[in-house]
Structure 1
Amino acid sequence: MKKKFILVTLTLFIFSILFAGCTTTNQSKDASWDDIKQKGQFVVGLDDSFPPMGFKDDKGQIVGFDIDLAKEAAKRMGVKVVFKPVQWDGVLLSLKNKDIDVIWNGLTITDKRKQQIAFSKPYLQNKQIIVVKNDSTIKNKKDLAQKKVGLQLGSSSETALKADNTTLKSLKEVKKYSDNTEALMDLKDGRVDAVVADEVVARYYINKTKGVYKVLNDDFKKEEYGVGIRKTDISFKEKLDKALDDMKKDGTVNKISQKWFGESVTEK
């Protein structure tokens, strides 16, 4: 009986240690916001050559849609924000290694990425749009039959067009460019009849050259952007989500969207 009592006591002791360990682990997961407050800032990792989301202006300052959002969110959270350019192909590793606190740079929410990181609530809707000249008679996808269409090589636009086999087969030619700017210039000069491009990128350039282009109602694949966060940073994510929610409700996000795109492309 005494041995049984000792065995039960020992078992309870071991479970208490394990439980305490789990509690400590859970508490450490929730300490992320306290850590940010103590530092007084959070670090945003980004590709600083991705207009209009984040890029260097003529003075070498990092500006953009996501930059304005991050600055406003940090202000409302009572901390500062630091922008740190990183190699984009290693950005998830930079987040995991805590070289940065978030990825805020037109990051598409995907199931594959969700396996590795957490995301804020979606703040922007993106899709592959069809751009034509203002005086074009093309009104929809069907009107693209036997037309020349331009897009950026290796882009989401190329993937989206390939996925729409009916439209792809109807085209006369698909012309591929190194970037969207080059494609839109050829559209302006009449070398292609339409361009398929990321909405956030295309609307930025369209807004800078008003009266030259128009966007069709038809589009291709839709996607959402979110802020990438470590899965363990639960309390920090909650604070960031609240700041973004408040910015949406009071019209701040829409105002920033109007500044960069000439219209709202944000999540409602």
Structure 2
Amino acid sequence: MTFLKAAFAVALAAASAAPALADSLPDLKGRDVTVVTENAYPPLQFVDPKTGKQVGWEYDAVNEMAKRLNFDAHYQNTSWDAMIQAVSSGQYDMGMDGITITDERKQKVAFSNPYMHSESFMLVRADEDRFDDPKSFAKDQDLLIGAQPGTTNFYTAVYDVLDGNEQNPRIKLFQTFGAEVQALRTGDVDMVLTDGTAGRGYVKATDGALKLIADHPLGSEDFGFIFPKGSKLIAPINAAIAQMKQDGTFDKLTKKWFLDYKMGN
């Protein structure tokens, strides 16, 4: 539970730190910033099924950055497989989707400094008892994994759980993470890999229908916002990230979305 421990490590950070830092943040003079996301990764970003509103940790974080930096955030949606290329080509100013910072992705887009650290886990149905770690999953040839092509979790499934064959028929491909989870719930696949961040959100949202196998994290990752290379937004966003970490804002958002929030409330 590294993530939640980290979330509360500075939960009582002094609020008085914010005014001292505020003067150091740049003023973006009300410029428009188009932010793209998939809305499929609760509690980071998703559409609340009861209200129909786009909500989540990342929305709150970026909206707070917009206030502090004086910019106007406009949100757009696209699929995961189109997002990085769309940001790279300048179609959007910024992307947020629980995007793992990797050297491969840095060849196409620029990243902010990390705003969140998480570990990767197996997400399964609550009554699953046929396996309890990657080795026992791999051993049973009848078990299937759901994954989105091109994601960190896809490559983890290929190289850290199975046999290194990217065409392995035990990996069933889906266009969205939400579709993976639905297939898991209906029994079409037996496991999906997810960072602890999204996994906890889905466990909470499904009222106990799913669980994380939390004893066996499959590595860790840092999340960052993405930008076209050379974007002048990167330095201001990094400054806001640093300030919001220091003054406890991120910890408050973590408590709100990971502990207090109930889907549909």
TM-score range, shorter chain: 0.5 to 0.7
Question: Deviation above 6 Å: which 4+ runs of structure 1?
Answer: none
- Corresponding position: 1:198 with 2:194: yes
- Corresponding position: 1:42 with 2:33: yes
Change (3 A) 1:167 1:211: farther
Asked if the contact 1:54–1:64 (Cα under 8 Å) also holds between the matched residues in 2, the reply is yes
Asked if the contact 2:134–2:161 (Cα under 8 Å) also holds between the matched residues in 1, the reply is no
For 2:200 and 2:245, how far apart are their aligned partners in 1?
20
Asked if the contact 2:46–2:56 (Cα under 8 Å) also holds between the matched residues in 1, the reply is yes
The aligned residue for residue 238 of structure 1 is: 235
- Corresponding position: 1:207 with 2:204: yes
Gaps of 5+ in 2: 1-24, 261-265
Decide which of 223, 226, 229 is 1:225's aligned counterpart: 223
Q: Which has the higher contact order (CA 8 A, sep 6+)?
A: 2
Q: Secondary structure at the match of 1:37?
A: coil
Instruction: Identify the structure with the greater helix proportion.
Output: 1
TM superposition score normalised by structure 1: 0.65
The aligned residue for residue 146 of structure 2 is: 152
* Pairing of 1:97-246 with structure 2 (within 5 A): 98-132=90-124, 139-144=132-137, 145-146=139-140, 149-155=143-149, 156=151, 157-164=153-160, 174=170, 176=172, 178=174, 179-186=179-186, 195-199=191-195, 200-212=197-209, 213-234=211-232, 236-246=233-243
TM superposition score normalised by structure 2: 0.65
For 1:201 and 1:247, how far apart are their aligned partners in 2?
21
Change (3 A) 1:126 1:250: same
State the shift of 1:164 in Å. 2.6
Q: CA RMSD in A?
A: 3.6
The aligned residue for residue 19 of structure 1 is: none
State the shift of 1:92 in Å. 4.3
Asked if the contact 1:132–1:216 (Cα under 8 Å) also holds between the matched residues in 2, the reply is no
State the shift of 1:87 in Å. 5.4
Q: Deviations over 1:145-200 (max 9, x none)?
A: 548644314454443132136789xxxx957475332344257xxx97x6232123
Asked if the contact 2:85–2:108 (Cα under 8 Å) also holds between the matched residues in 1, the reply is no
State the shift of 1:46 in Å. 2.1
Percent of aligned pairs sharing the same letter: 25
For 2:142 and 2:170, how far apart are their aligned partners in 1?
6
